[in-house]
């Protein structure tokens, strides 16, 4: 018999103690979240939130469900190629889950929909300032060209040795541990990708302690940010600033202090000449009209660092969960690595031949997109499908829904890397783990190459085991992670 595992409800995210105490006082706002996972021989449907089954016509109840966990607010009927709308406190919210209309939003009418949602802007402005991820208008256009050039796909091979060396160091550290060691692989992957991106962005200056401090501070920052900006729904078109609690201030100060020092060292001529920050500084020196002062440089460096390590760490963590539950896929991955690399460590030159490894990463990104909700705010009135949209409405493009729509992906909840093998590719605008259009993630090729290469280097030497009894639960805050991380046991491969 297959295994259907409902998972009992929990608060939807890990919290620091002061934030947890505040939420306990507001526990009536927390809605239950149930999860399911199906494993039947070689048919594996990894964990996901149950469909929302609350009564229709209750938008405030739906809002509270979203505040608890974005992934649990969707009905079965939302997993279709549709455009639909609801109103919450008079604010229009439009769901766009149709590839053709998504293209309209992100490409054809991008000038009307380029702004990120008030929630995302407010959630990140304290940390990232006017960084590329949340900026728009002329600032975005100038910075986009600059950052895109620095992380362009043609530059990725130059960062290959950093990826190889850093992943190799992790393998050696794991090999020094006793057989059967248990650890939190989310923390391990966050440390790995933070070190890779820190060496790439900042050169070799950051160091393990500072990289860990930035990673831990961002984890704390995510936990402290509310999922919903209520000010937007009660009439403030730009939402309201977030409450800067002492805990939040501490997290941001730690991050800014570390990154500022590196930027200032580079400006003083003490930086690594091959790093991304050095490239930013050189470009500013050649093009002073960019107006990249110390704060702007820090904002862009912080944006590259946060986006560059968090999303890849989450992707690799989900990939280890999927491979642990699907050993038939893991065997194919191991066979491919042995065929392509024999006993030598995989390198960036091997990535084009690692088709199974790449397919596993792409299928992981389909099932667990790092940013599962892409929210925009339109400047002007418009029409999408048969829905008239008022200015300053909330437009939701949800990769979590889109990637699990049956008309676009057969057996959409099933882990099936084969759907990305050979010449098979998803229909345009149906698969957008890195967003799409002009605001597509500029580090797409860097992140995808890094994930494939790290997966291959680690899988060559280890099996990563998740206990069958462990209840994995996806949690959507700013990014999509397993709640409380993912405890695993390491098994050496001969």
How far is the C-alpha of 184 from the C-alpha of 486, rounded, in Å?
5
Lowest mean pLDDT among 79-93, 227-241, 373-387, 394-408: 227-241
What average pLDDT score do residues 381-385 get?
96
Q: Cβ neighbours of residue 184 under 8 Å, at least 6 residues apart? A: 485, 486, 487, 488
Report pLDDT digits (tens) over 157-193: 988 999 999 999 999 999 999 988 999 999 999 989 9
Specify whether the CB–CB gap between 402 and 96 falls below 8 A.
no
Give how far Cα 476 sits from Cα of 70, 325, 483, Å: 6, 22, 9
**b/e for 65-84, b at 16 or more Cβ within 10 A?**
bbbbbbbbbbeeebbeeebe
Task: Kindly indicate the confidence band of residue 46, based on its pLDDT and cuts at 50, 70 and 90.
Answer: very high
**pLDDT score for 309:** 85
What average pLDDT score do residues 390-409 get?
96
Lowest mean pLDDT among 21-30, 328-337, 376-385: 21-30
Specify whether the CB–CB gap between 170 and 341 falls below 8 A.
no
Q: Does the structure show a pLDDT above 90 at 25?
A: no
Task: Kindly indicate the confidence band of residue 20, based on its pLDDT and cuts at 50, 70 and 90.
Answer: very low
Q: Does the structure show a pLDDT above 90 at 56?
A: no
**pLDDT score for 262:** 76
Lowest mean pLDDT among 165-174, 193-202, 222-231: 222-231
Task: Kindly indicate the confidence band of residue 31, based on its pLDDT and cuts at 50, 70 and 90.
Answer: low
Mean pLDDT of the chain: 86
Task: Kindly indicate the confidence band of residue 204, based on its pLDDT and cuts at 50, 70 and 90.
Answer: low
- Locate 321 and state its tokens: 């969960």
Range among 135-139, 189-193, 205-209, 451-455 with highest mean pLDDT value: 451-455
Looking from the CA of 102 toward its CB, the CA atoms found within 13 Å total 28
Q: How big is the CA angle at 388 (ends 84 and 140), to the nearest 5 degrees? A: 90
Report pLDDT digits (tens) over 452-492: 999 999 999 999 999 888 999 999 877 899 998 999 999 99
**pLDDT score for 7:** 41
Q: Does the structure show a pLDDT above 70 at 81?
A: yes
How far is the C-alpha of 297 from the C-alpha of 356, rounded, in Å?
38
Question: Could you tell me the sign of the dihedral formed by the alpha carbons of 442, 372, 21, 486, in that order?
Answer: negative
Q: Does the structure show a pLDDT above 80 at 147?
A: no
How far is the C-alpha of 31 from the C-alpha of 39, rounded, in Å?
27
**pLDDT score for 426:** 95
What average pLDDT score do residues 111-120 get?
89
What average pLDDT score do residues 299-313 get?
84
How far is the C-alpha of 395 from the C-alpha of 85, rounded, in Å?
9
Residues 286, 291, 297, 298, Cα dihedral to 10°: 170
Report pLDDT digits (tens) over 267-287: 777 766 667 777 777 777 777
Q: Does the structure show a pLDDT above 80 at 431?
A: yes
CB atoms within 10 A of CB 336: 21
- Locate 236 and state its tokens: 């403030």
Question: Could you tell me the sign of the dihedral formed by the alpha carbons of 403, 404, 409, 411, in that order?
Answer: positive
How far is the C-alpha of 15 from the C-alpha of 453, rounded, in Å?
32
Q: Which residue has the higher pLDDT, 163 or 138?
A: 163
How far is the C-alpha of 374 from the C-alpha of 400, rounded, in Å?
10
Lowest mean pLDDT among 78-82, 101-105, 128-132: 128-132
Q: Which residue has the higher pLDDT, 275 or 4?
A: 275
Lowest mean pLDDT among 74-83, 111-120, 276-285, 299-308: 276-285
Specify whether the CB–CB gap between 228 and 66 falls below 8 A.
yes
**pLDDT score for 229:** 81
Residues 349, 354, 360, 364, Cα dihedral to 10°: 20
- Locate 451 and state its tokens: 């994930």
Q: How big is the CA angle at 377 (ends 374 and 383), to the nearest 5 degrees? A: 105
**pLDDT score for 420:** 97
Q: Does the structure show a pLDDT above 70 at 301?
A: yes
Query: pTM for the complete prediction?
Result: 0.89
């Amino acid at each position: 018999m297959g295994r259907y595992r409902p998972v009992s409800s929990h608060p939807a995210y890990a919290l620091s103690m002061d934030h947890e105490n505040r939420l306990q006082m507001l526990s009536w706002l927390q809605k239950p979240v149930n999860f399911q996972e199906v494993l039947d021989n070689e048919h594996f449907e990894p964990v996901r939130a149950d469909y929302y089954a609350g009564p229709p016509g209750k938008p405030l109840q739906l809002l509270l469900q979203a505040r608890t966990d974005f992934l649990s607010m969707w009905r079965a009927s939302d997993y279709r190629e549709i455009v639909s709308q609801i109103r919450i406190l008079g604010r229009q919210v439009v769901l766009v889950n149709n590839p053709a209309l998504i293209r309209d939003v992100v490409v054809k009418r991008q000038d009307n929909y380029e702004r990120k949602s008030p929630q995302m802007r407010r959630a990140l402005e304290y940390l990232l300032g006017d960084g590329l991820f949340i900026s728009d208008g002329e600032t975005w256009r100038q910075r986009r060209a600059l950052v895109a050039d620095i992380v362009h796909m043609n530059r990725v091979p130059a960062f290959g040795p950093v990826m190889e060396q850093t992943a190799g160091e992790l393998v050696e550290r794991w090999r020094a541990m006793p057989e059967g060691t248990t650890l939190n692989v989310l923390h391990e992957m966050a440390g790995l990708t933070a070190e890779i991106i820190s060496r790439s962005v900042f050169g070799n200056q950051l160091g393990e302690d500072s990289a860990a401090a930035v990673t831990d501070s961002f984890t704390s920052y995510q936990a402290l940010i509310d999922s919903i900006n209520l000010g937007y729904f009660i009439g403030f078109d730009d939402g309201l600033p977030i409450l800067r609690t002492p805990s939040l201030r501490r997290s941001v100060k730690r991050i800014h202090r570390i990154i500022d020092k590196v930027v200032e060292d580079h400006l003083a001529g003490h930086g690594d000449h091959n790093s991304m920050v050095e490239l930013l500084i050189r470009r500013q020196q050649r093009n002073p009209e960019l107006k990249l002062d110390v704060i702007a440089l820090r904002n862009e460096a912080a944006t590259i660092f946060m986006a560059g390590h968090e999303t890849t760490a989450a992707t690799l963590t989900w990939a280890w969960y999927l491979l642990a539950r699907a050993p038939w896929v893991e065997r194919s991955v191991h066979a491919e690595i042995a065929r392509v690399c024999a006993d030598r460590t995989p390198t960036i030159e091997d990535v084009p031949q690692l088709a199974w490894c790449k397919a596993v990463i792409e299928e992981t990104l389909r099932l667990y997109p790092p940013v599962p909700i892409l929210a925009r705010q339109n400047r002007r009135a418009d029409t999408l499908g048969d829905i008239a949209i008022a200015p300053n409405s909330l437009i939701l493009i949800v990769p979590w829904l889109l990637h699990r729509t049956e008309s676009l992906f057969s057996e959409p909840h099933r882990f099936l890397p084969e759907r990305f093998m050979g010449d098979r590719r998803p229909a345009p605008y149906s698969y957008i783990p890195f967003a799409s259009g002009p605001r597509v993630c500029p580090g797409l090729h860097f992140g995808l190459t890094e994930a494939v290469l790290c997966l291959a280097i680690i899988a060559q030497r280890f099996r990563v085991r998740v206990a069958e009894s462990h209840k994995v639960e996806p949690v959507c805050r700013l990014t999509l992670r397993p709640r409380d991380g993912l405890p695993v046991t390491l098994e050496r491969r001969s």
